[in-house]
Amino acid sequence: MRIRGFLVILLLGGIIVFLLWSLKSRESTQIQEEIQAFSEAKIKLTRANLSALERAVLNYVLQQGKLPSSLQEISRFAPLGITLEDAWGRRIKYEKLSADNFRLISAGPDGIFGTNDDLVQEN
């Protein structure tokens, strides 16, 4: 009788441990999915900001006849709400490629320029 009771308790304990592990696994998966969605949202937001900055630079060119030497020069040609930072709070890099062409670069999620996750808008 004692052995049966012990086996029942052991079996119930195993079931409880399995259920707790299963719930924790689901929560972990859900958290990972939410983190991934948040990361993707930051990428989309940064791409939208890069596009808005590109339009502001092009508007500057229409008004001034030349590319700005830095992004700070376009402040009065940029729409309200535009920012010179990416969604991670880091400065967007502006590079003049020629008299007519430029590149806007976000260092991306890892925060390091020159890596595969950089977000680039080139004109």
Instruction: For residue range 8-39, list pLDDT tens digits in order.
Output: 677 777 777 877 777 776 666 777 788 888 89
Q: What's the rounded Cα separation, in Å, for the pair 115 and 8?
A: 57
- C-alpha 71/C-alpha 68 separation (Å) is 7
H helices of 65-79, in order, are none
Measure the CA angle with vertex 87, ends 29 and 107; round to 5°.
Answer: 95
Both structure tokens of 66 = 């030349």
* Look-up of token digits 């696994």: 25
The percentage of the chain sitting over the pLDDT mark of 70, rounded to a whole number, equals: 88
Helices (H), 65-102: none
pLDDT average, residue stretch 92-120: 95
Share of the chain above pLDDT 90, in %: 56
Residue 64 reports pLDDT greater than 80: yes
Decide if pLDDT at 3 tops 70: no
**Domains defined along the chain, listed by start:** 33-122 (3.30.700.10)
